[in-house]
Structure 1
Amino acid sequence: MKRDEERKKRFRYYTLNFTGQKARMTIVTMTLALAALAIILGIVSVQLIAGEGQKGLAGRILHSLSGQSLGTMLAQEIPMYAALAPAGKTAEVGGYPKGIASMLLYVFTDIDTSNPLTLLGYQIPGMAVADFKLLTPDPQYNTPPTDHDFGELPPNLNPKPREKVEPVKSDKPQVYIYHSHNRESFLSEIGQTDPNRAYDATQNIEQSGKWILGDLKQSGIAGMQTTEDYWQFPFDDAYDHSRKTVEKVLAEQKELKLIFDIHRDSGARNVTTRTVHGEEYAAVYWIVGGGNKDQEKNGALATKLNEQMNSLYPGLSRGVWLRPYNANFDTRYNQDLSPNMVLIEIGGPYNTLAEVERTSKAIAKVVEAYLKAEAK
């Protein structure tokens, strides 16, 4: 009898009642959550298979969630992991929101609750430019580069593919130039007055690359330029398309010492124009892409070129600027492909091609001096 009672105590039966309103609500909520998760995973899978750029959901997640960011999430919840985890790289330290909820918000919206600029930058024109960090500590460098603001206009005006433009080619080039935003142009050259329409298929920033390489050739320095028309693709995806070009060139050309992606800034004329040796030039910004393994080397290269420019053309440079990792889009600018890459912004929509030509020839002199110094 006693053994039967012990057996009854050991084995118990539970009956779950799913007829109540609270239970039904729990089941419905769990079902909806699983369905939403399945939909998100489906979208991510499709975009990864289709190879979409960073603007897709999959790309945003992959861009936001690096090994360091996952480590940050784990460290916030597991004390032992935080103590044993290796220190993050310079490019990624401090670049992530604190807290799991904040991290997830950042992954899906690029809004960092600890950095109001990531929210304000979407709503207030000009706020996003404050996301640049100055790498050249000099009081004269007080105006950051300006992002394009198209207003109500479509980013890609007349995106129809243009006729083939012949690039500059040479054997064993040391300098390579390309243009991710190749149709960036200048108002006075194309008969426009609206800076949001300063884009043209032929009269554009590509001319700068030709002038630089032309002067370098006269100095015995071989170079090459590709003039792919990326403008026919969505503006925000230009770096994805130019990346393919750069990868191909890097695989074929082993002598390259300098790689420039040359753009035109969007600032006002008083910002993008400098008077040097009594003549007006289109000002220069040296831009370093953050969040890549070569960030420090890219920054060191840009700083050397900036110093060389200051010695030859005082006041022409607007400084070296870093676009930190936690910006609202992929900030690498393809510079993770090589430690010898720098993005250069020359002038703005209100400058003239004559001013851009002076600056291009100045850059050629700077490059020549840099290469000679490095060869010693």
Structure 2
Amino acid sequence: MKHNEERKRRFRYYTLNFSGHKARTTIVTMMLAVAAFAVITGILSVQLITGGGQKSIAGRILHSISGHSLGTMLSQELPMYAASAPAAKAAEASPYPKGIASMLLYVFTDLDTSNPLTLLGYQIPGMAVADFKLLTPDPEYDTPPTDHEFGELPPNLNPKPREKVDPVKSDKPQVYVYHTHNRESFLPDIGKTLADQAYDDKKNIEQAGKWLLAELENGGTPGMQTTTDYWQFPYPEAYDFSRPTVEKVLQEQKELKLIYDIHRDSGERDVTTRKVNGEDYAAVYWIIGGGNPSYPKNAEVATKLDGYMKKMYPGLSRGVWSRPYNANFDTRYNQDLNPNMVLIEIGGPFNTLAEVERTSKAIAKVTAAYLKELQDAESNAKVQGVPTEK
């Protein structure tokens, strides 16, 4: 009996021999893998810290990983999860590449295997336009916004920024206007004839913001505008330059109810012009960018503004259009910074500043009507003791 107890107490031990070729190879491989992971993580971190846009690999990785991505991966492996998971809403359906392999391909190449437009949009002019989706179905809203195409750039379009301009603002502004593509201009007013030359550093879309805010001020609604020059190539990357400005304004101005990034479309005159009360106006597109958590609220705000314009200026609006994540550039349009942000495109290269002025003042009246709705809702909520959403 004693002999058996002694046998049970014996310890077993193993000797690991790292002198062998396979063991050394394994250790070196593991160390190299750890080092590579550390280097890649460091590079991605630097990109994020230095403000790399969504086109950077780090930006695309963060942009691709979401609750939808996790749900997609889980549903591929767990049939019961796929059966019980709630169906995505129409506006949120298929917002990211499906499958791990497809997602990795998108992260490193911008190509989505489920959407051929991500490839064709690079090679065939005009294909990327089809990436816009209409959120306000209407027989009149049949033409999506048009992407800009550049030929040989005239001398006044040198990307070197002009002197920074201080913000134009009033006390406790409720509406903030800025212009990511601030040099977008109008051919009749700058003496040019080719659409790809409709850019100017003085007579440009910034005028629309000034007219809009002046009209609001006349009605008692304070606003502010920044006219910093963000002229940058590649053209879509200007959003990376305007983003810090918007972040700073949002931190400083807590009373803002609406934020407009005002642009000019690139369509032909028959598309970008509307007759209202016998006068020519520059048509309006309301643009919502996908790929950001504020998308549903952004779309709701734009749809309400579009509704007011339909009533007050029938035919002037070309509808609310969204551009999903898979377009060829950063489609957030900085709208992830605030749920009350809308991108507006006024007119096209063949419109005149006089037509843009009429439209800008019309947008101001539409804006005032929307803000009054918000004010009435807040007043009713206070009377009823209900907390209001900001």
Q: What range is the shorter-chain TM-score in?
A: 0.7 to 0.9
1:69 lines up with 2:69 in the alignment:
yes
1:253 lines up with 2:253 in the alignment:
yes
Could you say what secondary structure the match of 1:286 adopts? strand
In structure 2, the CA distance between the partners of 1:36 and 1:71, relative to structure 1 (3 Å rule), is: farther
1:223 equivalent in structure 2: 223
CA shift, 1:212, in A, is 0.5
Partners of 1:98 and 1:176 lie apart in 2 by 37
More moved, 203-212 vs 41-50:
41-50
1:3 equivalent in structure 2: none
Amino acid at match of 2:359: T
CA offsets 1:346-365 (integer angstroms, 9 cap, x no match): 01111111110111111111
Preserved CA contact (<8 Å) 1:243 1:334: yes
Preserved CA contact (<8 Å) 1:180 1:263: yes
1:160 equivalent in structure 2: 160
1:106 equivalent in structure 2: 106
CA offsets 1:220-274 (integer angstroms, 9 cap, x no match): 1111111111115753222122221112111111211111110011111111111
1:374 lines up with 2:380 in the alignment:
no
CA shift, 1:35, in A, is 11
1:144 equivalent in structure 2: 144
Preserved CA contact (<8 Å) 2:52 2:240: no
CA shift, 1:83, in A, is 6.2
1:197 equivalent in structure 2: 197
CA offsets 1:138-184 (integer angstroms, 9 cap, x no match): 11100001111225659x93112224445421001111111111111
Preserved CA contact (<8 Å) 2:63 2:291: no
1:320 equivalent in structure 2: 320
1:358 equivalent in structure 2: 358
Could you say what secondary structure the match of 1:299 adopts? helix
Preserved CA contact (<8 Å) 2:145 2:285: yes
Could you say what secondary structure the match of 1:231 adopts? coil
CA shift, 1:58, in A, is 2.2
Partners of 1:355 and 1:276 lie apart in 2 by 11
1:115 equivalent in structure 2: 115
In structure 2, the CA distance between the partners of 1:368 and 1:73, relative to structure 1 (3 Å rule), is: same
Could you say what secondary structure the match of 1:239 adopts? helix
Preserved CA contact (<8 Å) 2:259 2:340: yes
Partners of 1:342 and 1:257 lie apart in 2 by 11
In structure 2, the CA distance between the partners of 1:293 and 1:44, relative to structure 1 (3 Å rule), is: closer
Partners of 2:291 and 2:91 lie apart in 1 by 5
CA offsets 1:21-77 (integer angstroms, 9 cap, x no match): xxxxxx9xx99x969966766653553454422222222222223343244234323
Tell me the matched-pair count: 352
In structure 2, the CA distance between the partners of 1:170 and 1:42, relative to structure 1 (3 Å rule), is: closer
Amino acid at match of 1:345: E
1:214 equivalent in structure 2: 214
Preserved CA contact (<8 Å) 1:73 1:103: no
Partners of 1:173 and 1:258 lie apart in 2 by 10
Partners of 1:226 and 1:277 lie apart in 2 by 32
1:185 equivalent in structure 2: 185
Q: Which runs of 5 or more structure 2 residues have no equivalent in the other structure?
A: 1-20, 377-390
More moved, 74-83 vs 134-143:
74-83
More moved, 111-120 vs 126-135:
111-120
Paired residues for 1:72-87 under 5 Å: 72-79=72-79, 82=82
Preserved CA contact (<8 Å) 2:147 2:265: yes
Amino acid at match of 1:128: A
Preserved CA contact (<8 Å) 2:57 2:107: no
Partners of 2:370 and 2:48 lie apart in 1 by 42
Amino acid at match of 2:301: L
The CA RMSD measured in Å over matched residues stands at 3.1
Preserved CA contact (<8 Å) 1:91 1:291: no
Could you say what secondary structure the match of 1:230 adopts? coil
Could you say what secondary structure the match of 2:129 adopts? helix
Partners of 1:109 and 1:230 lie apart in 2 by 26
Paired residues for 1:230-245 under 5 Å: 230-232=230-232, 234-245=234-245
Preserved CA contact (<8 Å) 1:63 1:330: no
Partners of 1:227 and 1:329 lie apart in 2 by 23
Amino acid at match of 1:335: Q
In structure 2, the CA distance between the partners of 1:234 and 1:102, relative to structure 1 (3 Å rule), is: closer
Partners of 1:36 and 1:138 lie apart in 2 by 56
Normalising by structure 1, what TM-score? 0.83
Normalising by structure 2, what TM-score? 0.80
Could you say what secondary structure the match of 1:128 adopts? helix
More moved, 258-267 vs 227-236:
227-236
Preserved CA contact (<8 Å) 1:112 1:118: yes
1:130 equivalent in structure 2: 130
Partners of 1:54 and 1:97 lie apart in 2 by 16
Could you say what secondary structure the match of 1:281 adopts? strand
Could you say what secondary structure the match of 1:325 adopts? coil
Partners of 1:221 and 1:164 lie apart in 2 by 26
In structure 2, the CA distance between the partners of 1:99 and 1:296, relative to structure 1 (3 Å rule), is: closer
